[in-house]
Amino acid sequence: MRIKHLLCTVAIVFFSFAASAQTKVGTVNINIIVSQLPEIPQVQKGIQDYEKQLQSDLKLKLDAYSKEVEEANKIFATMTEEAKKKKQQEIFELESDIQKFRQNAAQLAQLKQDELMRPLYKKVGEAVAIVAQEEKYTQVFTLDGNELAYVDPLYDLTMKVAKRLGLDIEAKKK
């Protein structure tokens, strides 16, 4: 009888500990949510406007290059060898500038898109955190990148690990 009572007590303690230690994990597709935000058309317009500006800047460079080549072709036969070399170097530099601009334009467009989208992802991230807290989720993974979208601070071991290593992260955060 005593053993049954002891086993029951141990089982109850074990199951209550296990129940309190359980985590609740969820998932969210942030990109679907972001794509439906009312701000998206404005962001898309901002990206398109920026890309048009980059295209306009490229056209100016191409026009300047064409003009320079056309003028050089007109007077090339009458130029001295030194003047020809100088003009060829100028044209080569314009070609190089255009090539660099084309390469950088894609990166600049991506940076602009990231800049315009960042507030939307922040807005959705904050909403995910609120829902996760309300629904008592300890972790929420994104479906589009398998990254954590939310982690209950109670399960964040950063400070404990830092303390174990003798680091004072709290002082550096301020």
Residue 148 is predicted with a pLDDT of 76
Contacts of 147 (CB under 8 A, 6+ apart): 141
- For the chain, what are the domain ranges? 23-173
The pLDDT-based confidence of 8 (bands split at 50, 70, 90) is very low
Residue 173 is predicted with a pLDDT of 54
The pLDDT-based confidence of 1 (bands split at 50, 70, 90) is low
Q: Which pair of structure tokens corresponds to residue 115?
A: 């800049």
Query: In a 3-state reduction of DSSP, which class is residue 25?
Result: strand
Over residues 2-14, mean pLDDT: 49
Q: Is the pLDDT of residue 15 over 70?
A: no
Question: Both ends of the chain: CA-CA distance in Å?
Answer: 59
Q: What is the pLDDT of residues 57-110, one digit of tens each?
A: 999 999 999 999 998 888 888 889 998 899 899 999 999 999 999 999 999 999
Q: Is the pLDDT of residue 12 over 60?
A: no
Which of the pair, 118 or 167, is modelled with greater confidence? 118
Residue 56 is predicted with a pLDDT of 96
Distance CA 6, CA 10 (A): 6
Q: What is the pLDDT of residues 105-156, one digit of tens each?
A: 999 999 999 999 999 999 998 999 899 889 898 888 888 776 778 777 777 6
DSSP labels, 100-158: HHHHHHHHHHHHHHHHHHHHHHHHHHHHHHHHHHHTT-SEEEETTT--EEEE-GGG--H
Q: How many CB atoms lie within 10 A of CB 150?
A: 21
Residue 13 is predicted with a pLDDT of 43
Distance CA 10, CA 19 (A): 14
**Kind plus residue range of the DSSP H or E element containing 28:** strand 25-28
Q: Which pair of structure tokens corresponds to residue 102?
A: 């084309």
Sheet of 25-28: strands edge to edge? 25-28, 139-142, 148-151
